[in-house]
Amino acid sequence: MSEKIIIFDTSLRDGEQSLQASLSVKEKLQIAMALERMNVDIIEVGFPISSPGDFESVRTISKNIKNTRICSLARCIDEDIDVAADAMSILDFFRIHIFLGTSNLHVHSKLKKNFNEIISMAIRSIKRAKRYTDDIEFSCEDAGRTSIDNLCRIVEQTIKHGATTINIPDTVGYTIPDQFGKIIKSLYQKVPNIDKATISIHCHDDLGMAVGNSISAIMAGARQVEGTINGIGERAGNAALEEIIMAIQARKDLLNVHTTVNTTEIYRTSKIISQICNTPIPANKAIVGSNAFSHSSGIHQDGVLKNRENYEIISPRDIGLKEVQLNLTSRSGRAAVRHRMRVMGYKDSEYDINELYSSFLKLADKKGQVFDYDLEALAFINNQQESSEYFKLKYFHVKSSSTGSAEASVTLICGKETITQSAKTGNGPVDAVYRALNKISEYKIILQKFQLVAKGKGKDALGQVDILVEYNKRIFHGIGLETDIIESSAKAMVNVLNNIWRANQVILKLRQM
């Protein structure tokens, strides 16, 4: 009989901590809601002790997610555990995930202890976590380089004292599939109370084997798998959950396990996380890459036309990849826009129809016809806009020449004030606009990264601009979306200015407390 594999997503914890710019509370909630739609079993939403922002994110997500178990990370430190529980206290059921290094390298060089002390720390922390919940996960950090005897000792003791899930991480991506599978088999053979807990695995991709190691562990008996969408995470990233989920579905004949994930939400969730996290998906990425279902070879094209199964082992529709629709113009009403969003799988509560329709009409006037991917892009950008927008772009005018010289005049609404500034530069029109905007805001920022991506096809494609800037030793991310590249660039910078303004407001409030 097929057994269920529990899907544990850590995109908002292990994935988010590796990003160049921290995510806002609203962005994290948007990702959590996408993961809930995908029906993952557990979402690890953060590390609450790490910052006030992370604590607030965990609390906000706990208030809004209804159908997926919420989990927070904690070190084997009393305050970590207390704060994690406090952040999720609105919930009747939640998980606390405790971790501690178990390899000789971590025990001696990082923690400066002996292994008996490590076991005592783990037991003490599990007992403290039991004050708040019966759902406790313990992770043996760097288990891949931990001796099997020590691993068996700490697994037995942590289960004995109340851990209900034991996670075996390949923290630095050191093992290979055969080796990692044998570690899991050894635990089942040598730990007498192993049946009292769920065995989980958490693999990193430093040697490109995270998914392979995860599948090997499942074949050896692990029944929870941890990872991230698109494989985001520390260094080379985590095991890509979409690959594991679809491998389980495609090879159920061999693996004899299943998940309860709604796979038709995979593609959309992947896109949302890619956009919010500013982590482009490689074209040749398995499952969700733009080439994953493309066929260039004449032989392959002929085979696919005769029977898709000749060269496709899964259907694009299995992950929610639908054909592009073209049926909306400026004459279309709100009902038509709402219908297309529903067809694409969006709930009415996930976007503001008035804001979306207003943006749709402006785009339809420019393009004539609007595609599904245009609507998705507009909905995404609208969701990034906070209600507390201090800076609003009112007008800009640019003059430039083939020599690179450019002049820009920008009018920006700043709270209740409207300010106009001009700037000249030898580096083109976008730089001129940015200089004018920065004159108005008076923020001393450094542009670190500028990226332009076409959303759609042809001359009317939307241009999405993603920028990273440094301000006061922090990195801020901004997004702009328009058919005009300069306008898209300007909106990305205004997005950044608003993010900086909100961050400064938080600091001001903390100082006044």
Mind listing the pLDDT tens digit for each residue in 229-288? 999 999 999 999 999 999 999 999 999 999 999 999 999 999 999 989 989 999 899 999
Do the domains 3-277 and 391-512 sit in the same CATH topology, yes or no?
no
Q: Which of 428, 267, 239 is nearest to 345 (CA)?
A: 267
Mind listing the pLDDT tens digit for each residue in 496-512? 998 888 878 766 765 66
Among 114-128, 254-268, 344-358, the range scoring the smallest mean pLDDT is: 344-358
pLDDT at residue 391 in the model: 93
pLDDT at residue 479 in the model: 87
Q: Give the DSSP H or E segment for 459.
A: none
pLDDT at residue 34 in the model: 95
pLDDT band at 302 (very low <50, low <70, confident <90, very high): low
Cα–Cα distance measured from residue 320 to residue 39, given in angstroms and rounded to the nearest whole number: 14
Q: Give the DSSP H or E segment for 93.
A: none
Mean pLDDT of 355-371: 81
CATH number of 3-277: 3.20.20.70
pLDDT at residue 331 in the model: 81
| 187 has a pLDDT exceeding 90 | yes
Question: What pTM was estimated for this model as a whole?
Answer: 0.81
> Which residues partner with 423 through β-bridges?
408
| 352 has a pLDDT exceeding 90 | no
Contact yes or no for 17/49 (Cβ under 8 A): no
| 215 has a pLDDT exceeding 90 | yes
pLDDT at residue 327 in the model: 63
Mean pLDDT of 445-473: 84
Highest mean pLDDT range out of 29-38, 284-293, 386-395, 419-428?
29-38
pLDDT at residue 328 in the model: 78
Residue 512: how many CB atoms within 10 A of its CB?
6
**Token duo for residue 287:** 């499952």
Mind listing the pLDDT tens digit for each residue in 485-498? 899 999 999 989 98
pLDDT at residue 368 in the model: 74
Cα–Cα distance measured from residue 303 to residue 296, given in angstroms and rounded to the nearest whole number: 11
Q: Domain 391-512: give its CATH architecture.
A: 2-Layer Sandwich (3.30)
C-alpha distances in angstroms, 429 versus 320, 426, 433, 434, 465? 39, 9, 6, 9, 15
| 102 has a pLDDT exceeding 60 | yes
Q: Tell me the pLDDT of the chain averaged across its residues.
A: 90
Range list of β-strands (E), 52-105:
69-75, 95-101
| Residue-range domain boundaries for the chain | 3-277, 326-384, 391-512
pLDDT band at 336 (very low <50, low <70, confident <90, very high): confident
pLDDT at residue 384 in the model: 65
